[in-house]
Chain A
Amino acid sequence: MIYLDAIVSQQFAPADLPAAIRAALGKPLRRAPVLAQLAVLGALACLPAERRSRPTALLWQSTSGPRLETLELLDEVCQGSGEPMPFTFLATVPASAAVQLRPFVPGLRSASTLPLDTEQEANWRLLLTIAANWLAEGRYEQVLCAHLDHWADCLSGHWLALSASPSASTLATLRTSAGAPVTQATDTPDFPVALGRWLSAPAGPSLQLHSPAAPGLTVEFART
């Protein structure tokens, strides 16, 4: 059995991100790309301090990816001197978010970035299925799954924290096979918002993410 410990959804106007970082860390996160800052904010919101040293994996998807940073790089490389500023290039490497996050989550052992290929669609099914597999085999104690986006007018982070063992904060259980009856959810970037609504609604059937194209990757949440 896999346990859902936290649901976090965050949205910021770009101008408000530095203040949010200072509020969370007490200092700015210098030289960190926006997606890395979102990763830090979301992970700290999901994990109470006593859980940050436990073996943890992070799986995060993104529709935007470092789109704005890549456009800046293209301008510097193709229209400027040809030699970009080093931090302009580093900001286009989404995987580097893990290095920025590690000092705040010392238990972070692995991180994967999954860029998305279609607008308005997400791969929560994949993230949650892999997370459940890893937790079931004891590879990590907890897995953070996230969707992070950096748009010109809005920054967003949607998070689910899963663990291998129940705790006082457990919100729901997760399994990777289908039961019945169920409420179907849509695999969109803000799926955690829908999951939160389902949890706060009166008791009812389980909530399922399912795709006919990938029937093996069905995940189902049940209330505790």
Chain B
Amino acid sequence: MTRPVYLGASGLVCARGASPTAVAAALAAGESGSDWRQHGNRRFPWFALPLAEQDWLTRAEKAICLVAESLGPLPPTTPLFVASSSFQIGLCETRPPPYELPIANASFSRQLASWMQLDGPRYSFSNACISGFSAIDAARSLIAAGQIDGAVVLGCELANASTLAGFAALELLSPTACRPFDRDREGLVLGEAVAAIHLTAKSTPWRLAALRTGIDAWSITGPDPEGGPIAELLGECLQEAGLAADDIDLVKLQAAGSPGTDLAEANALRQVFATSPPPLLSFKSAFGHTLGASGVAELTALLACLDSNCIPATAGFATADPQLGLQPTTRNSSQPVRHALLNLIGFGGGLASMIVTRER
């Protein structure tokens, strides 16, 4: 059996709001403010969840409950696919040493399921920045084959010092701001997000038309600057969807403001779209790079924007980079979108591309 898989209800809590519609409205309004997070004697911009709770666990529960509320009622046995790169490490940091980690490294997924009031099967994915699309890929494979009828895919990335310190040690963070595809881009800005989407065999306005994951083995910390592996994966994704490059109406970029990765992505896009790319959009300057949650968070944000008939401007972009030869959206647009392509380039060599198609 092979059947289409659709994207249903969603939930999203990120720096721009506590629901998909609130986030879409904030993006349309051009909101992109961030906080700061101190790390040793350095400080970095940081996109925090808009929650008043201070305690790590209480805050996590609040975010999950907000997302569950947006999703609406679901059968409690609905399979849950969790995507995260940090799980409960932020909680461990709040406790005194010696540090204790659970024996099973994704045991936090049991807590997440409990907060979501789901007691069906749980599966966890930790593929760095492409975790969310890896989880969606697995869920849609089972739905398409008739092995399950629906699933919730949850992306969860919450505040912790370890990830920030790791990226800081690798000198991958911007000290000022996220500037996607900008000549003066300096690096990533990290953020928190919790997002979920319901995948279902039942028809909805958005169909998951294609999803492919890949590997760029150039380096653990960055892709081949020529963009070859990324372009190859985008081509495979188009092929699976049965679409040509000029059928794509919008690309949601990875574009985190990283000097090398933005260049690789731009080179790949020029190989795929030649001289006439569709509008290019990045969310990372509006709510940060949310790592393991970014796939689900950016998908839910994109669908909310498109459902509100607004392709937002990409915050943080000011000056085109002639080396890239491409630039993201600079003003809001209501251009109709039937097919949107979403691209992820992961820390650790993972690649993922998805195409969503508006059915009605």
A binds B: yes
Least CB distance from B111 to A in Å reads 9
From residue A133, how far is it (CB to closest CB) to chain B in Å? Answer: 5
B244 at the interface (CB under 8 A from A): no
User: How near does chain A come to B187, taking the closest CB pair, in angstroms?
Assistant: 15
Nearest chain A CB to B142 CB, angstrom units: 7
Chain A residues, Cβ within 8 Å of B93: 74, 77-78
- Contact check, B220 vs A93: say whether CB atoms are below 8 A apart: yes
A84 touches B165 (CB 8 A): yes
- Interchain CB contact under 8 A, A130 and B138: yes
Which listed segment binds A: B22-30, B100-108, B267-275, B321-329? B100-108
A95 to B162, CA, bound (A): 17
What's the nearest-Cβ distance from chain B to residue A61, in Å?
Answer: 9
Is A188's beta carbon under 8 Å from chain B?
Answer: no
| Contact across chains for B109 and A117 when beta carbons are under 8 A apart | yes
The answer to whether A96 and B349 touch across the interface, beta carbons within 8 angstroms, is yes
- Closest residue to A79 on the B side, CB-wise? B97
Return chain B residues, CB-CB under 8 Å to A112. 125, 127, 134, 137-138, 213
8 A Cβ contacts from B293-351 to A: 346-350
Q: Chain B contacts of A99 at CB under 8 A?
A: 215, 217, 219-220, 348-349
Interface bracket on B: 35 or more
Q: Is the CB of B215 within 8 A of A111?
A: yes
Stretch in B6-14, B116-124, B177-185 with 4+ CB within 8 Å of A? B116-124
User: Which residues of A lie under 8 Å from residue B169 when comparing CB positions?
Assistant: 83-86, 89
Q: A62 to B273, alpha carbons, bound, how many Å?
A: 39
CB of B161 closer than 8 Å to a CB of A: yes
* B107 (CB) vs chain A CBs: closest residue: A117
**Chain B residues proximal to chain A, CB less than 8 Å:** 2, 39-40, 77, 79, 85, 87, 89, 92-93, 97, 99, 101, 103-110, 120-128, 130-131, 134, 137-138, 141-142, 144-148, 161-162, 165-170, 212-215, 217, 219-221, 346-350
